[in-house]
A and B are shown apart, each in its own frame.
Chain A
């Protein structure tokens, strides 16, 4: 976990991100910067805004104000003078190709086989030749311990298997950054481990990851840094073990007490 070194290039930078749903302000000025190869876990009680913030990073959620840069590019907007002009659907699609995302509910394409789920996006959106994409898909299946399941359909797989396929699908686009939105929250307890193992492997391979999770042990072991959010603000952030073992802020302490 070399990401902690301060001289690694910045992949994600968020400045003063605000987001309101009607009168309800769920993000009240979030700042965050994530270096290349760094693994950052977003922790906090439900409703604290961590998933919403994660979804702003690939513009699945439109923020109310603020700016997010991925790899130096403003996400979702063209900056012209003082104003930010929202991009068209096509331009957004191009930006999202570099940002992988894994959802709580897997969201595998229900009408496609495992192989198509993984290989279609690189073929369509990266112009990868079919043969290459299929070979790469097989490699990724091996990596997530799902070798030989190319022909299966999502409904034939357990939640843990579906989530591992979903990770392989996101990786097939060779993203610079992976976003995980509570990837184990919808899983039966005995299936959580297999998904976390894949994520551990990924972190060890140097992938830049932002993970919204309630798995404290995973955050403590794998994350370089944790960010504790509550009621739309960052309450505390720092090296994973430091924050989880010795939280300074009382809200962090109260939350961690409930988690243990």
Chain B
């Protein structure tokens, strides 16, 4: 007997659904592409428009600044949450509860309107109008950072708790002070657990910054809105903005992928973050 050919089972149900999907997607693309209401040639014109590029710069600035501030604040809140004093840990819990429990959009509008109940800041003879200090930029940055700090605190707390308590005990037994133990032993090890979710939060933050357009903070979406307020090319400029958001999140995802690959190598060699941390510690340790 000759060898018989093996034919896999045909999954007719899936084939039918796949055909439906293709049909619907093709129809949608055709509808959008042939729409007389979308002025396609204007999109390339605006992609590298100076105003749009300025907006991108500001969106990236908002993302980086708010992530840096929220990581620092979050680390402080996480440490406070683990403190034995009930007021210190309670403050941290209430902060996290409040900032995670109210919408970010409300927080942004709130900071922008803060002069309504704190019109000026007076410290002795020193006097400042709140409006001069809390500009749209500052209001947006405060809202993004303070809100993100609540999430970051939980991420960092999780990382700190993931480090085996034996590490802290060994550090104590060797005469490390509590802050030395935190900075040199616990935190560098917690980084391994903390870095992947920080990557996710950063990617998410790139898009979240668009919310600050409600206070006209001059980010990418604000700029797109400003332009279409004048020329009414609403859909075209929203497409331009979407293209840029996709580019930014894709690049950020690639960076995250590279970092996580390096973190994952820990079974054969210490990951890059550790090596960097080790180098830092050696440099500092050298002071004697």
**Chain A residues proximal to chain B, CB less than 8 Å:** 58, 60, 89-90, 92-94, 96-97, 99-101, 103, 105, 107-113, 116, 119-121, 123-125, 127-130, 153, 155, 166, 169-170, 173
- Can you give 24 contacting A-B residue pairs, CB < 8 Å? A89-B177, A90-B177, A93-B172, A93-B177, A93-B180, A94-B175, A96-B175, A103-B166, A107-B166, A107-B170, A108-B170, A110-B189, A111-B188, A111-B270, A111-B278, A112-B278, A119-B285, A121-B176, A124-B285, A125-B174, A125-B175, A153-B269, A155-B266, A170-B174
**Chain B residues proximal to chain A, CB less than 8 Å:** 164, 166-167, 169-178, 180, 184-185, 188-189, 266-267, 269-270, 274, 277-278, 281-282, 285-286, 288
Whether B167 and A109, one on each chain, are in contact in the complex, defined by CB atoms closer than 8 angstroms, is yes
Whether B172 and A107, one on each chain, are in contact in the complex, defined by CB atoms closer than 8 angstroms, is no
Nearest-neighbour CB distance to chain B for A57, whole angstroms, equals: 11
Whether B288 and A123, one on each chain, are in contact in the complex, defined by CB atoms closer than 8 angstroms, is yes
Whether A170 and B173, one on each chain, are in contact in the complex, defined by CB atoms closer than 8 angstroms, is yes
Nearest-neighbour CB distance to chain B for A165, whole angstroms, equals: 12
Q: What CA separation (Å) do A34 and B262 show in the bound complex?
A: 50
Q: What CA separation (Å) do A99 and B175 show in the bound complex?
A: 9
- Taking CB atoms, residues of chain B closer than 8 Å to A130 are 285-286, 288
- Specify which of B166, B174, B278 is in contact with A113 (CB 8 Å cutoff): B278
Q: What CA separation (Å) do A60 and B169 show in the bound complex?
A: 7
Whether B267 and A155, one on each chain, are in contact in the complex, defined by CB atoms closer than 8 angstroms, is yes
- Taking CB atoms, residues of chain A closer than 8 Å to B269 are 153
B contact patch SS: helix
Q: What CA separation (Å) do A140 and B186 show in the bound complex?
A: 25
- Taking CB atoms, residues of chain B closer than 8 Å to A109 are 167, 170-171, 185, 189
- Taking CB atoms, residues of chain A closer than 8 Å to B267 are 155
Whether B288 and A153, one on each chain, are in contact in the complex, defined by CB atoms closer than 8 angstroms, is no
Answer whether A110 and B167 are a contact pair too, CB < 8 Å, given A96-B172, A170-B173, A170-B174.
Answer: yes
Whether B185 and A116, one on each chain, are in contact in the complex, defined by CB atoms closer than 8 angstroms, is no
Q: What CA separation (Å) do A113 and B285 show in the bound complex?
A: 14
- Taking CB atoms, residues of chain A closer than 8 Å to B172 are 58, 60, 92-93, 96
Whether B174 and A121, one on each chain, are in contact in the complex, defined by CB atoms closer than 8 angstroms, is yes
* Extra 4 A-B pairs, beta carbons < 8 Å, given A101-B173, A112-B278, A166-B170: A92-B172, A110-B167, A111-B274, A169-B174
Q: What CA separation (Å) do A123 and B283 show in the bound complex?
A: 12
Q: What CA separation (Å) do A170 and B169 show in the bound complex?
A: 13
- Taking CB atoms, residues of chain B closer than 8 Å to A125 are 174-176, 180
Nearest-neighbour CB distance to chain B for A60, whole angstroms, equals: 6
- Taking CB atoms, residues of chain A closer than 8 Å to B164 are 107
- Specify which of B169, B173, B176, B189 is in contact with A124 (CB 8 Å cutoff): B176
Q: What CA separation (Å) do A129 and B288 show in the bound complex?
A: 6
- Taking CB atoms, residues of chain B closer than 8 Å to A120 are 184, 281, 285
Whether A127 and B288, one on each chain, are in contact in the complex, defined by CB atoms closer than 8 angstroms, is yes
